[in-house]
Amino acid sequence: MSICFINGKFSPTDQCGIPVTDLVIQRGVGVFDSVRLYDGKAFALTAHMKRLEKSARLARIDLDDGAAIEKITGVVREGAKRPDCPDGGNCIAKAYITGGDVNENGRFPKPRHFVIFESGGDTPPDEYKLGIALQPTGEGRPYPLAKSVNYLVGLIEGAGRDDIRECLYCPDGKITETLRSSFFIRREGRIITAPVGMVLDGVTRGIIVELARENGFDVEERCPDVSELAKADEAFLTSSWKEVVPVVRVGDAVIGDGKPGPAASRLRQLFKANIDKWLDK
Ligand SMILES: *Cc1c(COP(=O)(O)O)cnc(C)c1O
């Protein structure tokens, strides 16, 4: 069962709520970050909390000079160790900072915070074995560096097809990222992924780029052109929960030979072998 920390205590999530006056409900003003927990230990917690702080600043949500972030960091650590943390502490902690009830000319001085601990659930093993399909869209994500709660554009652009896992943002024909993951192709012996700034500073993305470079891969940070998909040897996405998942089709374009590629598999292996390095002590 999912648990949530709000108003100073942990409770079952279905007993938690926020007022309907909160601007996250009325205007979509809110940011969050998802931290993966492995056996009750948070993965890359500092990087996630730094990004949460950055997201809040970009959304002009007030943070009392970082005290809120420190508090949330403590809550993630505490929740991860609780006996009622879902799946024996192998789950996801989602920390939210909402706009609260007060809007001062586009500044939000009275935010609310809560952290949900829930089962990550839904990556079928077939996704790693067979790969997934994405739906390309010409839309982009506004304020790419903020992890906003507003996924409306991406959800609509990827909606309505059972064979599609997520949309792939391709504004002006340049590939950036997917609905909730960072995106990579391998082409002419190089791993190519969009630069931070054009996309969210994905924590898994950063680790994969680091591991790839340390292990002899050539990594180029630029937005691939949509036309390069047809010439790519493989593609994959990364996120905290999914780690590394091969992508075998984008719209009607089959990537490479339509099967998961060796770089995705090697990088996932390297990621798994190095998890300890980024685990909370
Ligand atoms: C959460 C998210 C990611 C993945 O970030 P991680 O830190 O690797 O989990 C990438 N892109 C978008 C748009 C996201 O919302």
pLDDT tens, residue by residue, 104-155: 999 999 999 999 999 997 677 889 999 999 999 999 999 999 999 999 999 9
pLDDT score recorded for residue 241 = 94
Task: Supply the range of the domain harboring residue 206.
Answer: 125-278
CATH code of 214's domain: 3.20.10.10
Ligand 1 pocket, Cβ-based, cut-off 6 angstroms: 34, 141, 147, 177, 180-182, 200, 202-205, 238-240
CA of 44 to the centre of ligand 1 (A): 13
CA of 82 to the centre of ligand 1 (A): 26
pLDDT score recorded for residue 122 = 65
* Closest Cα to atom 14 of ligand 1: 180
* Number of domains present in the structure of the chain: 2
In a shared domain, residues 173 and 273: yes
pLDDT tens, residue by residue, 226-262: 999 999 999 999 999 999 999 999 999 999 999 999 9
pLDDT score recorded for residue 185 = 98
| Domain boundary, last residue among 91, 118, 145 | 118
* Closest Cα to atom 13 of ligand 1: 180
How confident is the model over 86-98, as a mean pLDDT?
A: 97
Model confidence at 48, pLDDT cuts 50, 70, 90, reads very high
pLDDT tens, residue by residue, 190-224: 999 999 999 999 999 999 999 999 999 999 999 99
* Closest Cα to atom 15 of ligand 1: 180
In a shared domain, residues 138 and 197: yes
In a shared domain, residues 40 and 64: yes
Backbone angles phi, psi at 14, to 5 degrees: -70, -5
Model confidence at 64, pLDDT cuts 50, 70, 90, reads confident
CA of 146 to the centre of ligand 1 (A): 10
pLDDT score recorded for residue 66 = 81
| Domain boundary, last residue among 87, 118, 149 | 118
CA of 202 to the centre of ligand 1 (A): 5
